[in-house]
Amino acid sequence: MNFANSYGKLFISFKQYLIQITKDAMLFIICLAPLMCGVLFKFGIPAAEKLIILEPYYLLFDLLLAVLTPMMISYVSSMVILGDIDEGITKYMAVTPLGKSGYLISKLVFPLFASFFITIIVMMIFSLTKIDLMQIIGISILTSLLGLIMSMMVISISANKVEGMAVIKLSGITMIGIPAAFLTAQNVQYLFFFLPSLWVAKFSIEYSLIYFVLCIALSSVWILFFIKKFLKKIY
């Protein structure tokens, strides 16, 4: 299979993924959630400043918005994949030209890149704080990886869509590192050292390359663990 044909099959599979989303009203609305929340954060939080002091936490709200896009896209990807598992489609991927690795790329990696670019746009438009473009790109990379972790966790643990919805709610716990970095004492924060979300927040606050690399490394461990678990599940 040559390079062009390989990518052609991946894009065809990704196109089918997009078609599945447009046919499901709930999944389509979920994809629009980051824009709706962006408008709410951009105009609602400054308005609420008249009633309660929120300005010291503007960066926290920006990070919650940044992580919302990959979270919503990871939810959509998880539901699409679990739907394919329910219908037995994934069992036959190995004998198709696309293959199981191609299937995962089209259903997880392509949406991951989409979430990366959408997060950049959302933050540039709706950010409450002044963050330079390079930092926005860094945050978008890290939060996209958080979304991938959530997707892999859901599809590797869940047997069907019903279980998937429950696991998605529980997977939100992995994001607790973000508020922990803002709302807890320094020594307490490191209790959450195993959560990549903590290092996303630390990177955003201090803009340190060390935290960026640490988050990448820790995220990779999480992703590889769940990939192995998922591959055992579908083989």
188-209 residue pLDDT tens: 998 999 999 999 999 999 999 9
For 31-70, what is each residue's pLDDT tens digit? Answer: 888 888 888 888 888 888 777 878 888 999 999 999 988 9
Query: What pLDDT sits at residue 97?
Result: 63
User: What pLDDT, on a 0 to 100 scale, did the predictor assign at position 135?
Assistant: 94
Q: And the tokens for 28?
A: 């389509």
DSSP string, 71-129: HHHHHHHHHHHHHHHHTT-GGGGGGSSSHHHHHHIIIIIHHHHHHHHHHHHHHHHH-SS
Which pLDDT does position 102 carry in this prediction?
78
- CA dist 57 and 49 (Å) reads 11
- Residue 73's domain comprises 3-234
Instruction: Give how far the C-alpha of residue 30 lies from the chain's centroid of Cα atoms, to the nearest Å.
Output: 13
Mean of pLDDT over the chain: 85
What pLDDT does 193 receive?
Answer: 92
Whether the predicted pLDDT of 94 surpasses 50: yes
The band of 7, judged by pLDDT with boundaries at 50, 70 and 90, is low
CA distance 192 to 199: 9
Closest CA to 104 of 235, 230, 233: 230
What total of structural domains would you count in the chain? 1
Q: What is the pTM of this model?
A: 0.85
Both tokens assigned to 125: 């438009």
From the list 155, 83, 68, 145, the residue with the least C-alpha distance to 113 is 145
Mean pLDDT across 123-146: 93
